[in-house]
Amino acid sequence: MVKLALLWHMHQPWYVAPFTGQFELPWVRVHSIKDYYGMAKLVEEFPGIKVTFNLVPSLLRQIELYLEGRKDRFQTIFDISPEQMTGDQIAFLVNNFFSINSDNHIKQFPRYNFLHNKMAEAGGNKFTGSWKEVFSDVELKDLQVWFPLSNIDQYYRENDERVKGLIKKGGGFSDSDKEMIRSVELEIMGKIIPLYKKLWQNGNIEISTTPYYHPILPLLIDPQLGRKADPSLPEYDLNFNWKEDAELQVRKGLSYMERIFNRRPDGVWPSEGSLSEDVIGILENNGIRWTATDEKIIERSLDRSGDNSEDKGRAKFKPWTFRKGDMKIFFRDNHLSDLVGFHYKNWGQKNAAKDLYKKIENIGEGRTSDIVLPVILDGENAWEFYSESGREFLREFYSLVEKSKKIDMITFSEATSMGSGDLSEFAAGSWINGNFNIWIGDEDDRKGWTLIRIVKELIERNKDNIPEEQMSEIMENILIAEGSDWFWWYGSENHTDDLETFDRLFRDNLVSACKLGKVEIPAELEVPVFRKIDKREGVKRFPGRYLSPVIDGKETTIYEWFGSGEIETGNMASAIFISHPVFRKIKYCFDRENLYFNIEMKEAAEKYLSRDHSFEVEILNNDVRSILYLDHGDHEPECFFGDVLECKLPFHIFDGKEGDELRVIFTIKNGSDIFSVFPDDDPIIIRIPAERDYAKNWTL
């Protein structure tokens, strides 16, 4: 039987500004009313399953701060009557209160969609006029209400009369309606911790945790592990050892969880699944019974130990110890985890749930003994991209497993009793590509680490002049700055519109540490860590004429793709998917019977093919979903891997015709594992043109 150990990881960065005590961004509140309560509430419907929830202490503490009366900038704007707003406040409202997936949280609500279209027609974020001239006060108040209302959990949408009434009303909202939204938000947030506590006490779930501010512990102890995990990184001169900080982050997190839940978690999902030998030792010294990381790490660890007796493909199906230690280490199945997090959002939800169930069932076929299958992923961000926050998918999957005779859902603590292996060597890494590149691989990342080092050294030199209680406050600022999220957004891999806010919070915490320690603020803290952000948005151009390029993997003539549509991917990765940014530029065009793609990648396309990577394109055309495998050769679809990947896709293989709107996603796989996806959030939308669409471009 397959013993499925499913872990939902719940985490948000520390958004509290050190000098004001208020939240700079609203995402703890938004995910609280949309995900944290609803994900746990859903488990109550299925008493025959067990789920592990990993709750990060700094997330829970921020929920407490909201309940204590703290507010975020979005709430401050929400509280102001539109009639009293300044032009800047109205601009903030319009530019930020559509910050949600439009397909699943805007388009389904006619009034919200009307307001969104009105904003877009005026020019969106490129609009330079006065929004007061575009929106009436009534419309602005409706926008104030719709942003939180569209985020309220599906359970409340279906069962709470107040929420149902506001949705039915649709617009023309009053001040009392705004008060109702405030009370519903606080009500939901107030239920979160008690609900998890009850479910844990009743045995429906297990709660694990993470070091307090979500730091990458291996890098705190030895930043050179970045190069050891990926020797292709350039040399850098970071050589500190902040093991005491790492130990403090762990102890502080465990103590907080014990205070909140009246019991100490047995397990720790380390930030981003990042483990090393030193970190394993810290966790064991703190009495942790289990931890987990990615399956790439078990493969590399077995290689390092020279153990050729173990089937590496099956090594993840049991827990492991390190050098006969007491703590069990689990290794997540990255293929199944990534399917849920990144891929199934584009499927019909019941079909996706059935596909996941069948894949898990198939893993157990032919096995004579039980295996543990760890599936570990983000428990919040993905649901924005599922309709109705993925509840149909989750209900269907939980129901299938609850009735199954071949799959049994267990907690990770229960899985520790299963037979285990022992590792003599452990390869440090994280869940992302088995390395630490996201957090130390870019020049901006290393600038951030350098700033922390400079501040710590200044404080250390002046520590004899700092009272003990002051040192505790200073240390809190430094622990916050050690969190992983600042480094997640620094560098070229990821993009967020909030980068400037993240950068300011990071530097302000270090400035606060300097002020508390009465040391001179380094000039470097006055300068943003990140470099230019102008290349972080994709650029799109639409095709201007019919073309029939030669499919040969190279630029046959200078005019071959002239007039094609073009998508420069820039950096369009988001918080939910960052594996291998491969795609650089995608050109596309049509003739009357075919769709053509020219795909430029980080390396020559033929190199990816030579590494046994497989390529596929998924095209959703109305209700027809086609997954086309892009293999080298003149078969259908015709493809050629050379300097670039060129391919020719006849309309009939995806039921295409003039005027159809296609939703397109490219996926690269390494075996059954997803290696890279583009785009990671909303599909590329491509419309098959008619001849009249090109007529305006014709010249004599």
Residues 386, 104 contacting (CB under 8 angstroms): yes
The pLDDT assigned to 537 comes to 44
Q: Is the pLDDT of residue 547 over 60?
A: yes
**DSSP state letter for 245:** H
Give the span between the Cα atoms of 82 and 176, in whole angstroms.
15
Residues 69, 18 contacting (CB under 8 angstroms): no
**Greater confidence, 697 or 132?**
132
Instruction: Give me the residue spans of the domains in the chain.
Output: 11-202, 437-526, 539-695
Q: Is the pLDDT of residue 570 over 70?
A: no
- Mean pLDDT of all residues in 440-458: 96
- Mean pLDDT of all residues in 159-171: 96
CA distances from 358 to 331, 354, 404, 486, 616 (A): 21, 6, 11, 38, 21
Which of 656, 589, 650, 590 lies closest to 620 in space, CA to CA?
Answer: 656
Q: Is the pLDDT of residue 251 over 80?
A: yes
Q: How many CB atoms within 10 Å of residue 568?
A: 17
Q: With b meaning 16 or more CB within 10 Å and e meaning fewer, what string describes 581-603?
A: bbbbbbbbbbeeebbbbbbbbee
Give the span between the Cα atoms of 575 and 438, in whole angstroms.
12
Give the span between the Cα atoms of 349 and 347, in whole angstroms.
6
Task: Return the sign of the alpha-carbon dihedral for residues 130, 135, 141, 146.
Answer: negative
- Mean pLDDT of all residues in 529-536: 60
Amino acid identity of 69? G
Structure token pair of residue 145: 């209400």
The pLDDT assigned to 309 comes to 66
**How many CA atoms are closer than 13 Å to the CA of 700, on its beta-carbon side?**
0
Residues 321, 328 contacting (CB under 8 angstroms): yes
Secondary structure of the chain: what % helix, strand, coil (to 5)? 45, 20, 35
Q: How confident is the model at residue 673 (pLDDT cuts 50, 70, 90)?
A: low
Give the span between the Cα atoms of 605 and 594, in whole angstroms.
22
Rg of the Cα atoms in the chain: 26
The pLDDT assigned to 577 comes to 42
The pLDDT assigned to 571 comes to 47
Structure confidence by residue, pLDDT tens digits, 391-404: 999 999 999 999 99
Which of 241, 242, 261 lies closest to 250 in space, CA to CA?
Answer: 242
Helix (H, G, I), strand (E, B) or coil at 549: coil
The pLDDT assigned to 576 comes to 39
Average pLDDT over the chain, rounded to whole? 90
Task: Return the sign of the alpha-carbon dihedral for residues 565, 568, 574, 578.
Answer: positive
Give the span between the Cα atoms of 140 and 370, in whole angstroms.
58
Give the span between the Cα atoms of 292 and 78, in whole angstroms.
41
Q: Is the pLDDT of residue 381 over 90?
A: no
- Mean pLDDT of all residues in 367-381: 93
The pLDDT assigned to 92 comes to 95
Q: Is the pLDDT of residue 243 over 90?
A: yes
Residues 6+ apart with CB under 8 A from 557: none
The pLDDT assigned to 536 comes to 41
Under CATH, domain 539-695 is a member of which superfamily?
Immunoglobulins (2.60.40.10)
Percent of the chain with pLDDT over 90: 72
Looking only at the bridges linking them, the beta strands covering 290-294 and 328-332 are parallel
Q: How confident is the model at residue 308 (pLDDT cuts 50, 70, 90)?
A: low
Q: How confident is the model at residue 28 (pLDDT cuts 50, 70, 90)?
A: very high
Note the residue count of the chain. Answer: 700
Give the span between the Cα atoms of 469 and 517, in whole angstroms.
11
Amino acid identity of 261? F
Residues 423, 320 contacting (CB under 8 angstroms): yes
Percent of the chain with pLDDT over 70: 94
- Mean pLDDT of all residues in 408-423: 96
Point out which residues pair with 42 in neighbouring strands. Answer: none
Instruction: Among 137-151, 529-543, 576-590, name the one with the lowest average pLDDT.
Output: 529-543
Residues 639, 599 contacting (CB under 8 angstroms): no
How many helices (H) and strands (E) the chain has is answered by: 27, 21
Structure token pair of residue 504: 């300011």
Give the span between the Cα atoms of 287 and 79, in whole angstroms.
46
The pLDDT assigned to 572 comes to 45
Q: List, as one string, the DSSP characters of 470-489.
A: HHHHHHHHHHHHTBHHHHHH
Q: How confident is the model at residue 554 (pLDDT cuts 50, 70, 90)?
A: confident
Structure confidence by residue, pLDDT tens digits, 37-72: 999 999 999 999 999 999 999 999 999 999 999 999
**DSSP state letter for 345:** G
Helix (H, G, I), strand (E, B) or coil at 74: helix
Structure confidence by residue, pLDDT tens digits, 103-156: 889 999 999 999 999 999 988 878 888 999 999 999 999 999 999 999 999 999
- Mean pLDDT of all residues in 664-672: 83
